[in-house]
């Protein structure tokens, strides 16, 4: 560590030094990682970034979480590796470009609304009994839309309609075979039903 970095670490606002605040951030984060995984949101740690390069040239690792509100990540020195109780991976997920400000906003958003249960990269199953087809939610904008739907509202996922799924908020997802875009003689309502 350079002399300048040591000096910065000892700078205090009268209550805490930078070193203390960074340590607090790391410790609270390590606890948060436990709760996030219990909520079902993926967290992983890696010594390497997505491109295979060692974080900051080595001696550091990155912790990446996929919250319902989006990706958040932080770097820490290797001596704290074992405090983060999450899967270790060869390379971290690709950074989505989030800034520290955006990461903080995402953490607050999920904290304010923890009932949002969908997240980017999640695999969901068709709700129809015995179907078993699965769909990966690959877009953050889509996840954001689905998490905001009022109960009972239907949302078509993907294009064209022939291969689209629907999400019925509060009920789940239905594959193309198990929902209908148009009512017919036997079915007056749009929504989930087995193809005749």
Give least dist CB 165 to Zn ion, A.
Answer: 9
Compute the distance between CA of residue 121 and CA of residue 133 in angstroms, rounded to an integer.
16
Compute the distance between CA of residue 33 and CA of residue 39 in angstroms, rounded to an integer.
10
Give least dist CB 171 to Zn ion, A.
Answer: 13
Nearer to Zn ion, 53 or 134 (CB): 134
Residue 135 touching Zn ion (CB under 5 A): no
Whether the Cβ atoms of residue 33 and residue 84 lie closer than 8 Å to each other: yes
Select the residue interacting with Zn ion from 72, 107, 126, 146 (CB under 5 A).
126
Select the residue interacting with Zn ion from 36, 76, 128, 173 (CB under 5 A).
128
Whether the Cβ atoms of residue 61 and residue 47 lie closer than 8 Å to each other: yes
Binding to Zn ion in span 176-195, by CB under 5 A: 178
Q: Candidates 3-11, 90-98, 126-134, 142-150 — which segment interacts with Zn ion by CB under 5 A?
A: 126-134
Q: Candidates 8-16, 28-36, 111-119, 130-138 — which segment interacts with Zn ion by CB under 5 A?
A: 130-138
Whether the Cβ atoms of residue 37 and residue 114 lie closer than 8 Å to each other: no
Select the residue interacting with Zn ion from 175, 179, 180, 192 (CB under 5 A).
175
DSSP single-letter state for residue 11: -
Give least dist CB 125 to Zn ion, A.
Answer: 8
Nearer to Zn ion, 114 or 170 (CB): 170
For the chain, the first-to-last Cα distance in angstroms comes to 69
Give least dist CB 114 to Zn ion, A.
Answer: 29
DSSP single-letter state for residue 190: -
Compute the distance between CA of residue 49 and CA of residue 31 in angstroms, rounded to an integer.
23
Compute the distance between CA of residue 71 and CA of residue 66 in angstroms, rounded to an integer.
4
Phi, psi of 137 (to 5 degrees): -85, 100
Residue 120 touching Zn ion (CB under 5 A): no
Count CB-CB contacts under 10 A for residue 142. Answer: 16
Give least dist CB 50 to Zn ion, A.
Answer: 33
Give least dist CB 179 to Zn ion, A.
Answer: 8
Residues making contact with Zn ion (CB under 5 A): 126, 128, 131, 133, 175, 178
């Amino acid at each position: 560590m350079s002399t300048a970095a040591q000096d910065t670490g000892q700078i205090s606002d009268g209550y805490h030094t930078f070193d203390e605040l960074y340590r607090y951030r790391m410790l609270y984060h390590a606890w948060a990682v436990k709760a996030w995984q219990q909520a079902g949101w993926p967290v992983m740690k890696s010594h390497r970034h997505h491109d295979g390069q060692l974080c900051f040239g080595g001696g550091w690792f990155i912790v990446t979480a996929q919250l319902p509100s989006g990706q958040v990540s932080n770097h820490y020195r290797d001596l704290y590796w074992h405090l983060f109780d999450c899967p270790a991976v060869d390379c971290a997920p690709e950074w989505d470009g989030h800034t520290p400000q955006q990461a903080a906003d995402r953490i607050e958003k999920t904290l304010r609304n923890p009932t949002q249960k969908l997240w980017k990269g999640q695999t969901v199953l068709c709700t129809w009994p015995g179907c078993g087809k699965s769909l990966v939610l690959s877009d953050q904008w889509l996840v954001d839309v689905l998490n905001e739907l009022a109960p009972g509202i239907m949302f078509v996922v993907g294009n064209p309609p022939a291969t689209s799924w629907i999400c019925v908020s509060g009920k789940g997802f239905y594959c193309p075979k198990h929902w209908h875009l148009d009512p017919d003689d036997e079915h007056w309502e749009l929504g989930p039903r087995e193809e005749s």
